[in-house]
Amino acid sequence: MHVITTQKELETAIAAFEKSDFVTVDTEFIRETTFWPILCLIQMAAPGITALIDPLSPDLDLRSFFRLMANEAVTKVFHAARQDIEIIVHLGDLVPHPVFDTQVAAMVCGFGDSVSYDQLVQKVTGARLDKSSRFTDWRHRPLSDKQLDYALADVTHLIEVYQHLSAELKRENRGHWLNEEMEVLTSRETYDPHPEDAWKRLKMRLRKPQELAVVQAVAAWREREARERDVPRGRVLKDDAIYEIAQQAPRDAAALGKLRTTPKGWERSATATSLLGTVNGALALPRDAMPKLPKTFQPPEGSSAAAELLKVLLRIVAEKEGVATKVLASSDDIDRIAAEGEAADVPALQGWRRAVFGEQALKLVRGEMGIKFDKRKIALFDL
């Protein structure tokens, strides 16, 4: 099986893909020892065209590939696109557009909230994919024909899946559902998170504003260090260490060396010195500059009964629309709507989810709608 390793071959392939209305795309990468994923293989297909591109080839300049990713006349079709797009953003400094994510499209077409590629292919085409090469070291060269066949199957079957889902979206008039989801997926902000927001990924119970100040500062410091050194966040500092540092507030190397979550001797390193500067900076914040602890949501008394009714409504609507309940609303969405009504800032009250489920949910909590058992079926009625 041929792999593109020269610029002439790449330009010829890209020119062919630019004539198509859509192109299916997938990437193989590794990121076990790096912060940024290492792109090892690019697979693309369109009706009558396939290509395997070796981005590790020293003779390749990928600018024409990135040009295709930005071509507004060609829809880029991915399955579970987030990580593939992240790679393209990092290497090409652009977000592909327009994009069609078949996992998201499958979600709004009733295939479940996170259907895998092989499951979707089997449901749509009946084909069973060979997944025996999924743990391949994609940096290794040469790749075997079996490995290349596996990689190419990730885009060839995607053609039929895309065509099927596109027709289904049109038939069910749900194209706008997908478009709303793609707006988030193709937003540059999705792939350029600020280091100052890194603390939000951490699940930690903090009791004092000072602890939160340290967590925010250290998480941002770790994010910058990991990006600059191109290593996983945990290689710089583990989450447990951030939590312990927030609790113990070490101001010097001696105090840092006593922590159980940092390696012995590490406190004398230049990295530790930089960290201590960050910690001391957070501890030196004046009281009025300390961050406020996030409020923990506590449902008011009596809202639990409303939440149970909303769950029944959610099942009714999900069954009617032929989608999983999680697609329309999460458990947190339900609790927040039951407690806060219109004021709840949740996905279920935004965009297409609001039109399909959210408006009815609000009518229920306002007492404008009821649920009854009629002729052995649960039904809704206006009050």
Q: Is residue 296 part of a domain?
A: no
CB-count exposure of residue 222 (10 Å: 0-12, 13-18, 19+) = buried
Q: Is residue 26 part of a domain?
A: yes
Based on the fold, state whether residues 19 and 129 are members of the same structural domain: yes
Based on the fold, state whether residues 231 and 367 are members of the same structural domain: no
| pLDDT tens-digit series, residues 148-173 | 999 999 999 999 999 999 999 999 99
Q: What is the pLDDT of residue 382?
A: 82
Q: Which one of 129, 163, 191 terminates a domain?
A: 191
Single out the residue of 299, 298, 335, 340 nearest to residue 314, CA to CA: 335
Based on the fold, state whether residues 277 and 346 are members of the same structural domain: no
Q: For the residues 59-68, what does the mean pLDDT come to?
A: 97
Distance, in Å, from the CA atom of 243 to the CA atom of 256, rounded to the nearest integer, reads 13
Q: Is residue 29 part of a domain?
A: yes
Q: Is residue 2 part of a domain?
A: no
| pLDDT tens-digit series, residues 18-59 | 999 999 999 999 999 999 999 999 999 999 999 999 999 998
Q: Is residue 294 part of a domain?
A: no
Distance, in Å, from the CA atom of 65 to the CA atom of 11, rounded to the nearest integer, reads 8
Structural domain of 315: 303-382
Based on the fold, state whether residues 186 and 65 are members of the same structural domain: yes
Q: What is the CATH number of the domain that holds 119?
A: 3.30.420.10
| pLDDT tens-digit series, residues 81-109 | 999 999 999 999 999 999 999 999 999 99
Q: What is the pLDDT of residue 375?
A: 77
Based on the fold, state whether residues 48 and 71 are members of the same structural domain: yes
Q: Return the axis-axis angle of helices 270-283 and 209-229, rounded to nearest 10°.
A: 150
Q: Which one of 171, 191, 211 terminates a domain?
A: 191
Single out the residue of 327, 236, 316 nearest to residue 33, CA to CA: 236
Based on the fold, state whether residues 270 and 365 are members of the same structural domain: no
Q: Is residue 16 part of a domain?
A: yes
| pLDDT tens-digit series, residues 283-305 | 999 999 999 998 766 667 668 88
Who has greater pLDDT, 298 or 185?
185
Q: Is residue 298 part of a domain?
A: no
Q: What is the pLDDT of residue 1?
A: 83
Number of domains observed in the structure of the chain: 3
Based on the fold, state whether residues 78 and 163 are members of the same structural domain: yes
Q: Is residue 138 part of a domain?
A: yes
- CB atoms closer than 10 angstroms to residue 370: 13
